[in-house]
Amino acid sequence: MTTKHLIALILGGLIISAAVASDVISERESGFKASKRAVATIKDALADGNMTTVAASAKTMAEFAERIPSLFPAGSKGGFFSAAKEDIWRNFPDFVQKSKNFQSNAQELATLASSPSPDKAAVSAAFAKVTENCKTCHQPYKKGW
Ligand code: HEC
């Protein structure tokens, strides 16, 4: 193989890995944005006593939460504007655990809200737990929070 070929191969690899990374980055960005909207939707729905909406939004969050670890493959920190901290990959098992807590709390909220006669206090408490997960993970792993 000539040097030229080698360089082309390396560049090609870099371009491919950058493309893969930007895919997961945009997917996680839109997932987190959707979670932020889901939190606002749930807040309003709780005030209206609309448990169907609470359950649906919580379920969306739980589904996204389950995907979080796979949306942070090694080397997907992103560019200058990325809010992902390097500590995610230094501490990956902890990051995965925090994703799991988020997933199970969001799932618990969905389950409580979709029970035949939802207990409003229990649903509100479960919602508070979900929003606690956002802070618990952002504090060590996201810049600017
Ligand atoms: C397990 C960790 C974790 C949990 C739980 C978590 N986040 Fe995040 N969040 C992150 C990380 C890391 C980023 C930065 C991602 C990046 O920039 O690539 C982020 C980014 C965001 C962003 C910015 C998205 C963008 O690019 O514009 C919003 C909004 C957000 N999170 C909302 C939430 C909300 C709301 C919750 C809870 C309902 C939540 N997050 C739970 C880790 C988490």
**134 within some domain:** yes
Which ligand 1 atom is nearest residue 81's CA?
Answer: 17
Choose among 119, 120, 127: nearest CA to 61: 127
Residue 69: CATH number of its domain: 1.20.120.10
Domain count, the chain: 1
> What pLDDT was estimated at residue 3?
72
Take residue 37 and report the two structure tokens written for it: 């909207």
Atom of ligand 1 nearest to the CA of 88: 12
Residues 2-14: tens digit of each pLDDT: 777 767 666 666 6
Query: Residue 139 has what pLDDT?
Result: 97
Residue 113 Cα to ligand 1 middle (Å) = 24
Tokens of 67: 């995907």
Q: Nearest-CA neighbor of 139 among 104, 88, 93, 72?
A: 88
Pocket of ligand 1 (CB under 6 A): 25, 28-29, 32-33, 35-36, 39, 61, 68, 78, 82-84, 88, 95, 98-99, 102, 130-131, 133-134, 137-138, 141-142
Residue 106: inside a domain, yes or no?
yes
| 50 Cα to the center of ligand 1, angstroms | 26
Q: How far apart are CA 52 and CA 114, in angstroms?
A: 6
Q: Does 64 reside within a domain?
A: yes
Range of the domain at 40: 26-73+82-141
Burial 106-145 (b: 16+ CB within 10 A, else e): bbbbbbbbbeeebeeeebeebbebbeebbeebbeebbeee
pTM above 0.85, yes or no: yes
Distance 116 CA to ligand 1 centre (A): 32
Closest ligand 1 atom number to CA of residue 61 = 38
Q: Is residue 132 a part of any domain in this protein?
A: yes
54-102 pLDDT, tens digit each: 999 999 999 999 999 999 999 999 988 899 999 999 999 999 999 999 9
The confidence score (pLDDT) of residue 118 equals: 97
Of 32, 76, 77, 100, the residue with max ligand 1 atoms within 8 A of its CB, to mutate for a pocket test, comes to 32
18: in domain: no
Q: Does residue 47 form part of some domain?
A: yes
Kindly state whether residue 131 falls inside one of the protein's structural domains: yes
